[in-house]
Each structure stands twice: as structure tokens, then as C-alpha cells.
Chains A and B, each alone.
Chain A
Amino acid sequence: MSTQTMKPQAPERDSYIRQVWRSYRRSWVACIALAMLVIAVLMAIFAPWVTPQNPFDQATLDLMDSRLPPGTVGSGGYVHVLGTDADGRDLYSAIVYGMRLSLSIGLISGVLALIVGALIGLLAGYFGGRIESVLMRIVDLQLSFPPLMLALILVAILGQGQFQVIVALVAAQYAYFARTVHGVTLAERQKEYIEAANAIPLPTRKIMFSHLLPNVTPPLIVVATVQIASSIVLEATLSFLGVGLPVTEPSLGGLIYNGFEYMQSGRYWMSVYPGITLVILMLAINLVGDHLRDVLNPRLSK
């Protein structure tokens, strides 16, 4: 993911990639995290080819197979490596498909929040004045509420479903991007190249998107990795509360929610394996993000 997102910045592309690579080579923890993330993404993309069953297809599910412990052979004739859940889904397949759902919702809402947030931050930072004070006051106000609260409010209003969850996640998270971009834009606006562009004079649109935007991109990518991770967690939390995605097509959070009621009776696997997957995914994204941050933004590094 890291290399793909950085392609647009043509002038410094090579050096960035090389720096990122050097930073990864130094730490085997980061290498493992990157490898895990790549494997997770590949598994998610090629889910139908690496799983024995499509867990979202109700027709292939057999209730006779429900709640089988890990390692049992079900009616499908293959071994359920991680057992089955209450609806008779092969848990391994359900985890891969759930991961696919979690990753894509996290990515889509992360990217949308980035676009919305960056636009607001650019507008506020570049124009200043009244636009800035109105926009940034809203952003500050939002930042004083925990994102979970905002997402809950929105889900309460909009109802359940993929689209609704994405809207809620974007609305709960764009403010972080807006604040970052606003801060950087304020600093960049003072610099000579913007002054020069203004003096030519280039159209505002061109200054904002061709001159300012590339320069606010590195910190934006740093925020993006953090926010994609946190939107995956947020979606999982909403689904775990039973107000996120519909339970018939469970994401990782939904799988944990489905298995939750069996936890007390010793059928731990239904919640534990999806949970472990979620934790590994989070750790991998956070560690990869940490190294990206060291390279892209030395100011933020510890």
C-alpha cells in the first residue's frame, strides 16, 4: 500500500521509496508487519480462491455444520481448520471474507475522509478569513467529541448498512485530515513559491491543487495510515455493538459479535479467531504506518 499511495508525487518519488525501503530493512519487526499486511491484502483480494466456501452465500451454509470446533470435518467434506460459527459458516472462510469487508470499508472511508478533509483544510488554510473561522470552528468542535460517539449518532440516524457505515466513518474522521491540512497549508502559504504563483498570477484552483496539495501530501499520508486503522476499528466496534454492518454479511467485528454469546459456554473460537485477525491487522497497519511516519515526517518521529 505504501508504495502505491506515494506514486503521485513525481519529483521526490524515487527518493521516498528508497528511504522507506531503507527504513524497513533496518527493522525486522517492520518487515514482518509489512509482509503480514501484504498477505492480508492479497488474501482479501483473492478471497474466493483461497477459501473453501463463500460464507456470504446463504445457500451454501448448512445449519448441521454450526458450532463445530476447530479441526472437524463438516458436511462439505473438508476440514474446518478454525471451526464453524453459529450459522454454519466455515470460520476460516468467514474471517477472510470479513477481513475483505473490513479492509475495503476502512480503505474507502479513509480515502473519502481524506478527500473531504483535505479539501476543507485547503480551503480554510488558503482563503483564511470568515471561511476559515467557520470551517475550522466546526472541525474543532467535532474533534472535541470522540469519533465513536459521532459514528454512533450517525448510525442511529441513518440506520444500518454498508453505505450508512461509510458515511458515519467519513463524518467521524474527516476532521483529523482537515486539521492536519489546515495546519500545513497555513505554514506553506507563507512561502515564496506560493507568493510567486500568486504574483504570476496563476488561477486559485491551480495554486491549491498543483502547488499546495503536493506539499501537504506527506503529512496527509501519515494521518491516513492512522485513520484507516482507526476506521477499521471503528467499523468493527459498531458491528460488534450490532449497529454496523448487517449480520448476514459479517465483517470481522460482526463475526466477533456473532460469536460473543457463545463465549461463556466455552465455544471460544467463534469470537477469538476473528479477534486475533483484527488485532494482527491493526498491529501490522500501525507498525507499517510508524515507519512511513519516520520517513515522511521527521518532526513527528519519537
Chain B
Amino acid sequence: MLNFVLKRTWHALLVMLLMSMLVFVGVYAIGNPIDILINPQADQALREATIARYGLDKPLWEQYLRFLGNAIQGDFGVSFVYNVPALSLIFTYLPATLELAVVAMVMTIVIGVPLGIYAGYRPDSAFSKLIMSGSVMAFSVPGFWMGLMLMLVFSVELGWFSSGGRGETVSIFGVEWSVFTWDGLQHLLLPALNLALFRLALIVRLTRAGVREAIMSDYVKFARAKGVPPLRILVRHVLRNIMIPLTTVLGMEFGAMVAFSVVTETIFSWPGAGKLVIDSIRTLDQPVVVSYLLLVAAMFVLINFVVDVMYSLLDPRINLGSRK
């Protein structure tokens, strides 16, 4: 176990290093920062002074090392647009994104797993067929289009939910939350549903497939023959076995949700990190783009790591030490 953790930590660091190189070279070397930093009307002396001040006259590897050194200390430069440190700017926007992703995740699990179980237990019932065709629809319809339609139907036409912004927030431990106020909840539900729908479809299908496989298995047949109550079979035998693939997928999908929140936040004007990064890409605010990308990459690496460890905790048969 320890061996595995050490090895994976080493891999994770390597991946982060690679990502930082890619992003640095990409954003700073290909997109020319001089044009953004310096006023085109500036004279030659001012140009050179600015280039020297930002170290842009040094060779690329030296610039990269400097960037890396600063990045390790949490300094990703100052946002060109907001004029505050990029990382702290992202951290002020990040709670809104995480709140959205967590609520969407809870929706996915609370709605998706029971529907999947039902569809697995009664595959031929009309309701199960409805669930399954619904999930096919949710797969085929592009996520951003689904978001637009949700907004058009439920907020513009029916006026059931508000759209745009977070609504009223309440401050808990210095972080603003929408989920604890009625108004905030009204603003939160549609974007969260938009974010959740695709994963919901995925989870329904996975759960259904898992349940179908599990109820055919010998151990469930045996438990049934033994007279174990159905609910107990469901919880102790069926659910336990489908937990493993579900955890993996949910773990990975949480990352995908944070990534996709870029789209949802744009549609619903949700003031989160995703909207911030899209605006920053458009305004060429490179420090913000770089720190967001590296932060998200770090999150993915961490999620993969946690999922692998969770795997072994949920299923003692998996021996992490013996993996290559």
C-alpha cells in the first residue's frame, strides 16, 4: 500500500511537471505576452525595460524555471485585467463552482442510483423503458443545448426558477453559499440540473447494468433461497458490488463536472471559476488562464489518485502493491 502510494505520488508529480511545461510553453511562448504587457505606442526604451523586468529576454528554459519557482510558492503572476494575484482571484471564484458541482453530484447520486436500481430490477416495465429512453436522449443532446432549453422553458417561459447569478447568498466560514437560502436555491437548481443530466444518464445506465448482473449471480440467488429479506439483499449484496464501478465513475465524473461547469456557468451567468476562465481566455488574461489550467490539472491528478485508493478500500481483493 505504502509502496503504491509513493509510486503514484511520484507519477502525479511527473504529470504536474509535464502539464506545467505544456501550459507554460503554450500560453507564454506561443501567445506573445509582450503585445499584451506593453502599450503599442510605447517607445523602444520602455519596451526593453518591460521585457527585462518580466525576464522575457532570457532563454525559454530560464523563464520556465523562474515561472516554476514562483508557481511552487503559489505565485502565478498578477491578473492583467483585475490586477490582483491570479491564484487568489481564482480562489474567490472557486467556491461557487464547487458548490454547483457538489449539488449536481448529489442530484446525480440521489436520483440516478434509485432509477438505475429500479430499471435493473424491473427491466420490462414501462417506467424502466421510459427511464432508459430518457437516458439515451440525455446522451445525444449536447450539454450546452440542454442548458439553454432548461433556461428557456423553466425560467423564461414558466418563470419557475430564476436564472443568472447566484441569488442571495449566506456567508458560512467566510465562504458565500447559495444552497442555504431559498432565493439562492432557486438560482442554483437549474444550473445544477444541467450539470447533472449527462452524469445522471451515465449513472442510471451503469447502475442498471450492475444490478442486472448482480441479481443473476449465484450469491444473490443463494441469499434469496436462504430467505434473506429483499431489502437486505439489495443493500448487502447487490449495492455493495456495484459500489466499485460507481465510485470510480463518480470520482472521474466529478472532475468532468468541474470542467463542464465552464459551459453551465456561461449559460446561467453563474459567477464561478469556469466563467472566469472563459472570460480570461477571451481577454487574453494569461496568468489567470495558466493558474486555472494548472489547478484543474492538479485536481484531476488528485481525483485519479483518490479513486485508485478508494478502489482498494472498497474491494479488498484488489491488491495495489502488485500492480505495475
Contacts and interface: CB of A to CB of B under 8 A. Distances in A.
Contact of A156 (B156, B263, B289): B289
B14 to A, nearest CB: 10
Contacts of B145: 256, 275, 278-279
Interface residues of B, number: 37
A242 B151 CA distance: 19
A241 B296 contact: no
Nearest to A149: B259
A158 interface: yes
Contact of B260 (A148, A268, A271): A148
Contact of B26 (A157, A237, A272): A157
Interface in A33-86: none
Contact of A242 (B23, B148, B282): B282
Interface string B263-292: 100110000000001100110000001000
A144 B304 contact: yes
A97 B186 CA distance: 39
B106 interface: no
A237 B145 CA distance: 9
Contacts, number: 90
Nearest to B26: A157
Most buried by B among A241, A264, A278: A241
A279 B141 contact: yes
A242 B275 CA distance: 12
A148 B140 contact: no
Contacts of A283: 140
Contacts of B255: 145-146
A241 B262 contact: yes
Nearest to A275: B145
11 contacts: A144-B300, A145-B300, A156-B27, A236-B144, A243-B282, A275-B145, A278-B142, A278-B145, A279-B141, A279-B142, A282-B142
Interface string A244-256: 0000000001001
A196 interface: no
Contacts of B277: 152
Interface in B1-49: 15, 23, 26-27, 30-31
B142 A153 contact: no
A141 interface: yes
Contacts of A155: 281
Contact of B259 (A148, A233, A268): A148
B252 interface: yes
Contact of A157 (B27, B139, B141, B262): B27
A146 B260 contact: yes
Most buried by A among B140, B142, B293: B142
Interface in B139-170: 139-145, 148-149, 151-152, 156
